[in-house]
Chains A and B, each alone.
Chain A
Amino acid sequence: MTEFLQHLLNTLILGGTYALLGIGLTLIFGIMNVVNFTHGALYTVGAYLMYLAVTALGLGFFAALPTAILGGFLLGAVLDRVLLRPLRGADMDTTMLVMIGAGIVLQSGTLWLFGGVAKSIPTPFPDAPLQLGPVSVSWLRLFVLGAAASLIVLTYGLINRTRLGLAMRATFQDHDTAALMGVNVRLVYTATFAIGSSLAAAAGALLGPVYVVFPQMGGMAELKAFAIVILGGLGSITGAAIGGFILALAEELGAGYISSGYRDAMGFLIIIAVLVFRPTGLFAKAERIG
């Protein structure tokens, strides 16, 4: 029983960052119709920015986090401006291949700059965990959950309560009409890609201190983000949030009660099952986002 409770607690902690990863990806797909193959690389970049901000710049842990997120935002804006804007209107395969190329450049770029040896990010949190009856959780992970939840709420608010959000929702429904109504669609696209990228960077910056930072860390994160998004239905933010927690639960229980080696397989089995039995995802509402 204690073991089961511990698994549930682990799920909650892990699910928050998974949801963050998924929301960024689903936002970009829903609004721009781009399958973002740089998502994993942006996650890696976020973690390395966090590492640099804490160690080289000497910023405190809590100041480094927004720095890394801002870095992801700017990088996303640049990627959109340089690579995606000229290809607007090109078919999905073309943008996918360009994004794969950009992802390779970013990932091998971090490997080139930082080398293959994993880095660890020092944190101000105590080693001793918080005891909650029979189960326990580290303060760092608790902070990660809190930060992820805040970012999710912030994103949700941005889309549903701001003018930019309104423009994004209008573009999602019909970008031609939105453009006719005076929405600056180009700006909406750039903002969307930058926000989605900053969420990926945030997930990396949050999980970097929990684990270690290394250039290939984004590969598996990207595939998991795909799983989460498919599970929730492409374009659905609520779906991606719930999808993140479902994937975390499946992984945690799979590793705990079936075999730890198949932990990472859970996401893909979910993808295949969902696409075979309910191709639109569990929570897809194709007609709206938010």
Chain B
Amino acid sequence: MTRSLTTPALTLAFVLSAGVAQAQAIRIGVNEPLTGPFAASGTYVVNGAKIAADEINAKGGVLGRKLELVVEDNKSNPTEAAAVAEKLITSDKTPVLMGAWGSSLTLAVMPKLADYETAMLVETSSSGKITTSGNPFVFRISPPSALEAEAFAPMVERLGLKKVDFLAINNDWGRGAAADFGKMLKGKGVGVGLVETMDQGAQDMSAQLSKLKGSDADTLLITAAVDQLTLLFKQMAALGFKKRIITTGGSQNPDQIIAQAGTAAEGTLHLTTFLPWYPEKTPNPAATAYFIAEWKKRGFEFAGVTESFRGYDGIRTIAAAIEKGGAADAASIRKGFWSVDFTGLNGPIRFAKAGPAGSESGQSKPDVYLVKIEAGKVVVPDL
């Protein structure tokens, strides 16, 4: 008896919710490190993503629906990143994801994408493995380290590098960068010396630096995120470490380094993927100016833009994919990614096929710049 009463009620509720769904927001899962060693960077990316979502929603959304970001913390941990992806897809029903900042985090999420046939926009990770392992649900707008090394190649002679040591964070990102840059440098006849690693949470690198200080290399190539870089520069100054320093990976936030490491960062070189100091030199000056103005309006530190612009571009790319796909389901969005074509803050965003035939991932090719910290300012050196 009760059964016959509840069934119509349930049906009614279902119809009502289906009616609401028409106007319901399109949910985008955002899987970023908000605690742990990468908390600072992950938080910047999320804040950049929110600017994009608000901008798009203010203009009426996508396909007549608003965007809604569902943000989850992956704690800078790969297992957690995979669990978060699963939660976003199965519990929050997000048809598309953005994440997961670190290469090891992204690689951990990738099997889940294949399991649930849901695409993810990779905004920061640079390990080559991400787009070469044959996962057709991955679309990346950040440069893999091989691409970064290739962009750096013409500058090697002009800088006059003779022998290079490496200090890299001990994960897919750092190890991948050391391998790709090492290969490129050897190809140019530059010597490769020590390759030292540090744990992603390490705070005291004095021992590694003492060792690197004594080597016969003229340059140290560092791959790490901003918090660790700041500590490194301070500890280098304390040790009287005086070699040429070049950082890779695009998560340096040079302004934060200047603010926190002070004169210890003087003369260091950084490979970045965004030029917020010279909006007129970026590929899309109007968008850059809008983004920076909005960022400042929200009271965030300017230093964060070299990180947060990826979140901004990431969400704009996803919105474009939803638009091109014509529907807000996982399969349409994934198809839509292949037709995305617009100019982001660091170059054209359109996906080329990468990886084994038949299950290619998408890879966009952003610009890479070399900047220098000189007299407490970020400059583009003449090379």
CB-CB under 8 A for A117 and B39, given A129-B239, A256-B207: yes
Contact partners of A214 in chain B: CB under 8 A = 39
- Rounded to whole angstroms, the CA-CA distance of A131 and B206 in the bound complex is 16
Q: Quick one: which of B201, B206, B264 has the most chain A CB within 10 A?
A: B206
B198 proximal to A (CB < 8 A) = yes
Contact check, B211 vs A256: say whether CB atoms are below 8 A apart: yes
A174 proximal to B (CB < 8 A) = no
CB-CB under 8 A for A116 and B207, given A137-B238, A260-B198: no
Contact of A260 among B34, B36, B207 (CB under 8 A): B207
Contact of B234 among A131, A138, A217 (CB under 8 A): A138
Contact partners of B213 in chain A: CB under 8 A = 3, 6
Contact of B231 among A7, A116, A211 (CB under 8 A): A211
Contact check, A129 vs B240: say whether CB atoms are below 8 A apart: yes
For the residues of A in contact with B, the DSSP-based class is mixed
CB-CB under 8 A for A3 and B237, given A127-B262, A260-B196: no
Contact partners of B206 in chain A: CB under 8 A = 6, 10, 252
Contact check, B210 vs A129: say whether CB atoms are below 8 A apart: no
CB-CB under 8 A for A116 and B35, given A129-B238, A129-B240, A138-B234: yes
Task: Give chain A nearest CB distance to B161 CB in angstroms.
Answer: 23
Contact partners of A127 in chain B: CB under 8 A = 234, 237, 261-264
- Chain A residue at smallest Cβ distance from B167: A260
Contact check, A111 vs B35: say whether CB atoms are below 8 A apart: yes
Contact check, B40 vs A117: say whether CB atoms are below 8 A apart: yes
Contact check, B203 vs A212: say whether CB atoms are below 8 A apart: yes
- Chain B residue at smallest Cβ distance from A263: B207
Contact of A138 among B203, B227, B238, B260 (CB under 8 A): B238
B204 proximal to A (CB < 8 A) = yes
- Chain A residue at smallest Cβ distance from B39: A116
- Rounded to whole angstroms, the CA-CA distance of A214 and B73 in the bound complex is 16
Contact partners of A256 in chain B: CB under 8 A = 207, 210-211
Mark each residue of chain A from 114 to 127: 1 if its CB lies under 8 Å from any CB of chain B, else 0: 01111010000001
Contact check, A3 vs B211: say whether CB atoms are below 8 A apart: yes
- Chain B residue at smallest Cβ distance from A118: B227
Task: Give chain A nearest CB distance to B27 CB in angstroms.
Answer: 24
Task: Give chain B nearest CB distance to A117 CB in angstroms.
Answer: 5
B150 proximal to A (CB < 8 A) = no
- Rounded to whole angstroms, the CA-CA distance of A201 and B198 in the bound complex is 27
Contact partners of A211 in chain B: CB under 8 A = 203-204, 231
Contact partners of A129 in chain B: CB under 8 A = 237-240
B197 proximal to A (CB < 8 A) = yes
- Chain B residue at smallest Cβ distance from A212: B227
- Rounded to whole angstroms, the CA-CA distance of A7 and B73 in the bound complex is 38
Contact partners of B204 in chain A: CB under 8 A = 14, 211, 263
CB-CB under 8 A for A118 and B40, given A137-B238, A138-B237: yes
CB-CB under 8 A for A136 and B203, given A115-B39, A260-B198, A261-B197: no
Q: Quick one: which of A111, A116, A136, A263 has the most chain B CB within 10 A?
A: A116
Mark each residue of chain B from 204 to 246: 1 if its CB lies under 8 Å from any CB of chain A, else 0: 1111101101100000000000010011001001111000000
- Chain A residue at smallest Cβ distance from B233: A127
- Rounded to whole angstroms, the CA-CA distance of A131 and B205 in the bound complex is 19
- Chain A residue at smallest Cβ distance from B73: A116
A216 proximal to B (CB < 8 A) = yes
CB-CB under 8 A for A141 and B210, given A120-B230, A211-B231: no
- Rounded to whole angstroms, the CA-CA distance of A117 and B42 in the bound complex is 9
Mark each residue of chain A from 1 to 41: 1 if its CB lies under 8 Å from any CB of chain B, else 0: 01100110010001000000000000000000000000000
Contact check, B210 vs A7: say whether CB atoms are below 8 A apart: yes
Task: Give chain A nearest CB distance to B293 CB in angstroms.
Answer: 23
From 257 to 284 in chain B, residues with beta carbon under 8 angstroms from any chain A beta carbon are 260-264
Contact check, A261 vs B36: say whether CB atoms are below 8 A apart: no
- Rounded to whole angstroms, the CA-CA distance of A261 and B175 in the bound complex is 14
Contact check, B227 vs A136: say whether CB atoms are below 8 A apart: no
Contact partners of A7 in chain B: CB under 8 A = 207, 210
Task: Give chain B nearest CB distance to A103 CB in angstroms.
Answer: 17
Contact partners of B237 in chain A: CB under 8 A = 127-129, 138
Contact check, A252 vs B207: say whether CB atoms are below 8 A apart: yes
- Rounded to whole angstroms, the CA-CA distance of A3 and B241 in the bound complex is 12
- Rounded to whole angstroms, the CA-CA distance of A256 and B237 in the bound complex is 18
A147 proximal to B (CB < 8 A) = no
Contact check, B240 vs A131: say whether CB atoms are below 8 A apart: yes
Contact check, A255 vs B208: say whether CB atoms are below 8 A apart: yes
Task: Give chain A nearest CB distance to B93 CB in angstroms.
Answer: 27
Contact check, B238 vs A6: say whether CB atoms are below 8 A apart: no
Task: Give chain A nearest CB distance to B39 CB in angstroms.
Answer: 4
B364 proximal to A (CB < 8 A) = no
B199 proximal to A (CB < 8 A) = yes
- Rounded to whole angstroms, the CA-CA distance of A18 and B196 in the bound complex is 25
- Chain B residue at smallest Cβ distance from A134: B240
From 202 to 225 in chain A, residues with beta carbon under 8 angstroms from any chain B beta carbon are 211-212, 214-217
Contact partners of B263 in chain A: CB under 8 A = 127-128
Contact check, B207 vs A118: say whether CB atoms are below 8 A apart: no
Residues on A facing B (Cβ under 8 Å): 2-3, 6-7, 10, 14, 111, 115-118, 120, 127-129, 131, 136-138, 140-141, 211-212, 214-217, 251-252, 255-256, 260-261, 263-264
Residues on B facing A (Cβ under 8 Å): 34-36, 39-40, 43, 73, 170, 196-199, 201-208, 210-211, 213-214, 227, 230-231, 234, 237-240, 260-264
30 A-B residue pairs with CB within 8 Å: A3-B211, A6-B206, A10-B207, A115-B35, A117-B43, A118-B39, A120-B230, A127-B262, A127-B263, A129-B237, A129-B240, A136-B239, A136-B240, A138-B234, A211-B231, A212-B227, A212-B230, A214-B39, A215-B35, A216-B201, A252-B206, A255-B207, A260-B197, A260-B198, A260-B202, A260-B207, A261-B197, A261-B199, A263-B204, A264-B199
Please name 17 further chain A to chain B contacts, defined as beta carbons within 8 Å, in addition to the given A138-B234, A263-B204, sorted by A numbering.
A3-B210, A6-B210, A6-B239, A10-B207, A111-B35, A115-B34, A116-B36, A117-B39, A127-B263, A131-B240, A211-B231, A212-B203, A260-B196, A260-B198, A260-B207, A261-B170, A261-B197
Give 6 closest A-B pairs by Cβ, nearest first: A116-B35, A255-B207, A138-B238, A116-B39, A211-B203, A136-B240
